[in-house]
Structure 1
Amino acid sequence: MKIKIFRCVFMKKLCVCGLSGITLILCAGFVHPCFSAEVVDRIVAIVNDDIIRLTDLNNALAPVEDQIRKKGFSADMQQAEIYRLRQEMLNSLIDDKLADQEIKTAGIFVDEQEIDKAIEQVKSANYYSDEDLRSALTASGISMSDYRKEIKKQMQRNQLVNLKIKSKIIITDSDVLKYYNDHPESYAPQKKYMIRNIVMPLGFDIEAPSTQSNFGKMESIHQQLSDGASFEKMAMEYSEAVNASDGGKLGFFALDELAENIKSAVSPLEPGSFSSIIETDQGFQIFFVEDIQESGGKELSEVADEIRQKLYEDAVNKKFQSWIETLRKDADIKIIQ
Structure 2
Amino acid sequence: MSIAMAVGVSAGSVPAAPGPVVVDRVVAVVNDEVITMSDLQRESLKRPAGTDQRLTLEDMIDRKLQMVAAKRNGMEVTDRELADAIADIMKRNSMDNKQFEEALAREGLTLEQYRSEFREQMTMSRLFNKFIRTGLSVDEKEIREHYDRNLGQFTLPDEIRVRLLVVTVPEKASSDQIEEARDKATALMVRIGKGENFIHLIRENSGSPTAAQDGDLGFMQRGHLIPEIEDAAKDLKPGQYAGPVKAADGFYIIRVEEVRTPVKPFEKVKDEIQKMLYEQKMENTYRAFLQSLRSEAHIENKL
What TM-score range do you get, normalising by the shorter chain?
0.3 to 0.5
User: Which structure has the bigger radius of gyration?
Assistant: 2
- TM-score normalized by the length of structure 1: 0.37
